[in-house]
Amino acid sequence: MTDALAAAISDLEEEQANKLVQERLAAGTSPQDILASCRDGMELVGKRYEAGEYFVSELIMAGEMFKQANAALASHFGAGGGATKGKVVVGTVKGDIHDIGKDLVVGMLKAGGFEVIDLGVDVPKEKFVEAAKDSGARVVGLSGLLTISFDSMKETVAALKAAGLPVKIMVGGGPLTEQVREYVGADALGADAQVAVRLANQWM
């Protein structure tokens, strides 16, 4: 039997999903179990996206629904209740201010159980290095939608490697190809948010 909350999220029924979260909290269901249902729902959304049933707009809407559920649950987590699979640093590289794709990846990574350090847009290489060093993150995601971002990505990858940080680096964005990934020196191409989550799972 499909979980009602997971089904509401996967069917993009925002009002129903919010209602079920509140009902389960009121009934004493653990926040961890509620969050697990939300993640199951996001996984179903991802499968529908991969199958061509959903598009970017649906992914964005599902991400917003997950954010709302997460916000409702945040105050109910006890110490250690929000244990995650690991930390991921994500940002749009210097020279590029596009954030839709990045925000989508951030939302899906959070839904997948990762703690995400979101650096925003137009992020210089030094900030990526600093964030990876300070957080101890094992994965760094570089986003860019403009072809002029390729050199920024290349410089950022070089800076992370020069700092000797034990991180795996994924890159993503509309115009990116395997050839671009090779050019910038990243470990993998995150073609979409689902692939980004899969890579993070592999590397943790």
Residue 141 reports pLDDT greater than 90: yes
Q: Which two tokens stand for residue 82?
A: 């929000």
Residue 82 reports pLDDT greater than 60: no
Residue 79 reports pLDDT greater than 50: no
Angle between the N-to-C axes of helices 125-135 and 149-162, in degrees from 0 to 180, rounded to the nearest 10: 40
179 alpha-carbon distance from chain centroid: 24
Q: Decide: 153 and 181 in contact? Cβ < 8 Å.
A: no
DSSP character at residue 170: E
Instruction: Select the more confidently predicted residue: 133 or 43.
Output: 133
DSSP character at residue 93: B
The terminus-to-terminus CA distance of the chain in angstroms comes to: 31
How many other CB atoms sit within 10 Å of the CB of residue 71? 10
CATH fold of the domain at 4-74: 1.10.1240
- Give me the pLDDT at residue 84, please: 78
Q: Where in the chain is the domain with CATH 1.10.1240.10?
A: 4-74
The pLDDT tens digits of the residues spanning 144-196 come to 988 889 999 999 999 999 999 999 999 998 788 999 999 999 999 998 877 88
Residue 70 reports pLDDT greater than 90: no
- Give me the pLDDT at residue 98, please: 86
Residue 81 reports pLDDT greater than 60: no
Q: Which two tokens stand for residue 6?
A: 């997971």
Q: Where in the chain is the domain with CATH 3.40.50.280?
A: 87-203
**Highest CATH level, class, for 87-203:** alpha beta
Q: Which H helix or E strand runs over 168?
A: strand 168-172
Nearest Cα neighbor of 126 from 166, 170, 169, 94 is 94
**Whole-structure pTM value:** 0.73
The pLDDT tens digits of the residues spanning 10-27 come to 999 999 999 999 999 999
- Give me the pLDDT at residue 13, please: 96
Q: What percent of the chain has pLDDT over 70?
A: 95
Nearest Cα neighbor of 66 from 3, 112, 23, 128 is 112
Residue 89's pLDDT band (cuts 50, 70, 90):
very high
Nearest Cα neighbor of 21 from 3, 46, 48 is 3
d(C-alpha 153, C-alpha 147), whole Å: 10
Query: Mean pLDDT, to the nearest integer, of 50-77?
Result: 84
Q: Which two tokens stand for residue 129?
A: 């290095």
Instruction: Select the more confidently predicted residue: 153 or 2.
Output: 153
